[in-house]
A and B are shown apart, each in its own frame.
Chain A
Amino acid sequence: MKKLLEISLGVVTSVGGFLEIGSLATAAQAGALFGYQLIWAIVLGTICIIFLVEMAGRFAAVSKHTIADGIRERFGFNFFIWPFLAIAGVNFLVLAAEIGGVAIALELATGVGFQWWAIPVSFAAWLLLWKGTFGLIEKGVSFLGLVALCFVVAAVVLKPDWSAIGRGAIPSLPEHDGSTYWYMVVAILGASISPYLFLFYSSGAIEDQWDESYLGVNRAIAALGMSFGGTISIGVLIVAAIVLGGQGITMVDDYHQLPLMLTAVFGYWGFILFVAALGVACFGATLELGLQQAYLFAQGFGWNWGEDLKPSQDPGFSAVYTVTLLAAALPIALGLDPLQLTILSMAVTAASLPLSVFPFLVLMNDKRYLGRHGNGTISNFAIIAIIALGCVLALVAIPLQFLGGA
């Protein structure tokens, strides 16, 4: 019964934590321009993240190491510094984009420009990390994040063509706008397979003191939580396809367009639900990214760490999230468009995947860490496919980003 409760909590946490500004934005644009045709990219991204999250939890539960800790110990600091720099850079960009997402929600709610909200949002996140516990942050905000399920409800209410949705889940060649189509695939995968998700998950497993008895729980949470999360992204895509695409709004290049997805379904409540979903989802991601950055530094440099410790007990850990949150708020406070930043962060995320995933694969096959719980053939194949995917993403996304002149 206790395990069932933990699975439920874990699934809720995963669902609540899945949707953030990157997945929301890419799903909305994909649906508006290509209808249901890109559902398969979300499905593929979700499968990838299920494998990575399951491995991250298994590694932590069996070896009692986080991924960052394991990479540093196994390969030495001189190697660790490269994935460390890549992941820290990506985390910073995504964190800035998430702060921007909360700031947009607050602008929509109050009418005060988003740049004015960046520093207050950052301060609120810092205060919660400083005063709060891991349980409060992990579960409290994620429970609130369930408001994002309104996109799934909206998708059902709109009575979509389910057979067309089924066809969209199968990879297909573009019917129009070929280069845009492939860039969208890259963007969706970059948004789905964020390194911070599985790195944070491994740190969380250590914070929650998982051991081998949690392997079943871990498997269930990874599969169910990420699947439900992917379902929300698909919900966003379906709503965008019907509401925005249906009205001829095929280019979603301004955040003011987004609330119209839900007002068309729920009226005024749709506006409120959109603001709540965007604000809570991005605030949850802000907290997780702030924490993840602190975990990365503390685990990488061998400092004390733990969200449940007092700041005086882990000063380096607390200093990292303090400085990171403040610094990440600055681009938004200076007026940088959060959605432009989202695109850049997704491309860089895609580029960094091989650096974070390859050493993780070696760890997952090292019997000194995992004993008989090491990766099987399917897991190895999945993670190698993810690395290959990451390389392709990096090769495609960055040139498109710069040549296209976003």
Chain B
Amino acid sequence: MVCLASCSNDSSGQEEWRSLRSSALTALAAVEAWQNQQAPAEYVERTLDAMRESVARKKPAPVATDIAAAILEARKAIAEGDGKGARSASEKLSRDLSVAQQAKPTQ
């Protein structure tokens, strides 16, 4: 698993994009799991921390920064048990991801 994809020689831009998108979508799935009471808050918070750290290392920096900020917002809302805040952060994350989608590299 671990970086199996990134260990290979595919275009680095595509790899960066795939990794960024996967991290953002994982964050969305984790928030949804918390909202549906399918996973403990502590696990979801740790997942969001890990995904935020992963996204923050990605390029292009502005898009990644926005996504990381949205993940942090969701994480704070979950820590406070704020379902509404988590939903709002999750919607922002989806929007940021759509923006990133438009800017994604092509082969």
User: Which A residues are within 8 Å of any B CB, using their own CB?
Assistant: 25-26, 28-29, 33, 107-108, 111, 177, 179-180, 182-184, 187, 247-254, 256-257, 259-260, 263-264, 267-268, 270-271, 337, 339-340, 342-343, 400-401, 403-406
Contact = CB atoms under 8 A, between A and B. Distances in A.
Given A253-B2, A256-B51, A260-B30, A179 B19 contact: no
B36 A404 contact: no
A337 B1 CA distance: 12
Contacts, number: 130
Contacts of A404: 3, 6-9
B43 A249 contact: no
B54 interface: yes
A251 B22 contact: yes
Contacts of B33: 260, 263-264, 271
Taking chain B's interface residues, is the majority helix, strand, or loop, or is none over half, making it mixed? helix
A343 B4 CA distance: 8
Interface string B19-53: 10111011011100100111110110011001100
A161 B42 CA distance: 35
Nearest to B48: A256
Contacts of A25: 1-2
B38 A251 contact: no
B1 A26 contact: yes
A251 B5 CA distance: 7
Contacts of B30: 256, 260
Interface string B46-84: 110011001000000000000000000000000000000
B37 A406 contact: no
Contacts of A187: 4
A343 to B, nearest CB: 5
Contact of B7 (A247, A268, A343): A343
A339 B10 contact: no
Name which of A28, A111, A257, A268 has the most chain B CB atoms within 10 A of its CB. Answer: A257
A196 B4 CA distance: 23
16 contacts: A25-B1, A28-B1, A29-B5, A111-B46, A182-B8, A184-B4, A247-B29, A250-B18, A260-B30, A263-B39, A267-B36, A268-B37, A400-B9, A404-B7, A404-B8, A406-B6
